[in-house]
Amino acid sequence: MKEKVFMSWKWVDDQIEELAERLKDKKLRYISGIPRGGLIPAIMLSHKLGVTYIPFDEAKKYGRHDIRFKNEDILLVDDICDSGVTLEKAPGVWTAVLHYKPHTSCFQPSMWADIHEGNEWLIYPWETKDSDTIQDYLKTNNYEFNKYK
């Protein structure tokens, strides 16, 4: 089993501040979050920047099919880019994460607050302390990546 590292709310607040600083000059129209891990950081960033939060299903629709939007108009947020699979299959929009693990990821987000070089399992304050060290979608065969298309 992987070692677990517990992130604090203070750490999350600091990373949201870091991302907000990098994004302050961007002309974002909307922010959305990948369910589940990206929802809280996306809402925090939305409040910090004063940018409208939209549900993930709306971001999917705008990101791929609505020609009124450029990719840079919508920021899609997740807590971590670990394997990269979730963000790789997500709508074609800007992406931001709290943690990026370049040594394990098949995808590079548009921006990140912190790089994590280790293989520990990172647990964020909104997760349960006894969370499994495996992505939920890897535990079941019912997960369909096509839902992001």
Residue with the larger pLDDT of the pair 134 and 14: 14
Q: DSSP of 32-71, one letter per residue?
A: EE-TTTTHHHHHHHHHHHT-EE--HHHHHHHHHH-TT--G
Q: Which pair of tokens denotes residue 130? A: 């006894």
Residue 129's pLDDT is 74
**What are the residue boundaries of the structural domains of the chain, listed by start?**
4-148
* Stronger pLDDT, 46 or 2, i.e. the higher one: 46
Residue 140 has pLDDT above 70, yes or no: no
Average pLDDT over residues 110-121: 92
Listed range (18-22, 96-100, 139-143) with the worst mean pLDDT: 139-143
Average pLDDT over residues 10-15: 97
Instruction: Say which CATH architecture domain 4-148 belongs to.
Output: 3-Layer(aba) Sandwich (3.40)
CA dihedral 81, 83, 35, 100 (to 10 degrees): -10
In this prediction, residue 47 carries a pLDDT of: 97
- What would the mean pLDDT of 11-16 be, rounded to a whole number? 97
In the chain, the N- to C-terminal Cα span, in Å, equals: 33
Range from 54-63, 77-86, 132-141 that averages highest in pLDDT:
77-86
Average pLDDT over all residues of the chain: 83
135 vs 126, which has greater pLDDT? 126
